[in-house]
Amino acid sequence: MRKSGLLVHQILHTLGDMVEVGISTWDLEVAAVRMMDDAGAKPAFKGYYVPAAGERYRFVLCTSINEEIVHGMPNPKKILKSGDIVSIDTGVSLNGYFGDSALTVPVGEVTEQVKRLLKVTEASLELAIDKVREGNRLFDICSTVEDHVVGNGFSIVREYVGHGIGTQLHEEPQVPNYVDRRNENPRLREGMVLAIEPMVNAGKPDARVLKDKWTAVAKDGSYSAHFEHCIAVTANGPWVLTRP
């Protein structure tokens, strides 16, 4: 999983460096496909079947712009402009083990409010990572994200959550970015790997899916940020598999 995680890190940060005014989300897709092919990796997202959409996903990336929360599809007609933000989410499989990560990148000059949205979302992930310790419980992670985001005046998207990960892209347990008392609250054990991925709206938390059956957007049109890492529970504390 470490090898998969490091490849995802390399891909995402190469793509992040490519982000500039005038490129398309399809440019990012083409670059990601090339890097996966060069590494001999299988894309985790392409071909993934989602019952709600009724079809398999067709791309190796999800590229979500501005009010798009997750599952935005790469498109040559989607050209980035100054003031946008773009969330890039991707995963790979190497030797049967998965890695999954996401980041949100500003395009050109963005407002102070947008800068703050990105900072708070990423910070909520870092605070949650510190809770990935043997003996803690799942809700320690969930409440940490929720408290930091809500405490800073932003809102948590509830329809989409993090997950366990390993030989499958999505495994138990689900990892909400808020405390859901209807869910179980398992104790964290050495060897577990969790994909924690705060999805945070600048406005209200409500989401809807566009007619394309994939792209989830903030209902009120507010900007949305998304960061994700895969973290292993070890005897020595959290080990982030998706960064050096």
Q: For Cα atoms 119, 104, 141, give the angle at the middle one, nearest 5 degrees.
A: 60
- What pLDDT does residue 110 have? 98
- What pLDDT does residue 100 have? 98
Tell me the domain boundaries of the chain: 2-240
Burial of residue 66 (CB within 10 Å: 0-12, 13-18, 19+) is buried
> Mean pLDDT, 10 residues at a time, over the chain (244 residues)?
98 98 98 98 97 96 98 98 98 97 98 98 98 97 98 97 98 96 92 98 98 98 98 98 97
* Residues in a beta bridge with 87: 64, 104
pTM for this entry: 0.97
- What pLDDT does residue 107 have? 98
For the stretch 67-100, pLDDT in tens is: 999 999 999 999 999 999 999 999 999 999 999 9
Contact 180, 152 (CB under 8 A): no
For the stretch 163-187, pLDDT in tens is: 999 999 999 999 999 998 888 899 9
Please, which contacts does 168-173 make with residues 24 or more away whose CB atoms are closer than 8 Å? 168/98, 169/44, 169/48, 169/91, 169/93, 169/98, 169/100, 173/138
- What pLDDT does residue 183 have? 83
Contact 124, 198 (CB under 8 A): yes
- What pLDDT does residue 184 have? 86
Residue 108 backbone zone (phi > 0: left; psi -120 to 50: alpha; other: beta)? left
Contact 149, 155 (CB under 8 A): yes
Handedness of CA 30, 31, 32, 37 (dihedral sign): positive
- What pLDDT does residue 54 have? 95
Domain 2-240: give its CATH superfamily.
Creatinase/methionine aminopeptidase superfamily (3.90.230.10)
Closest Cα to residue 214, out of 58, 27, 44? 58
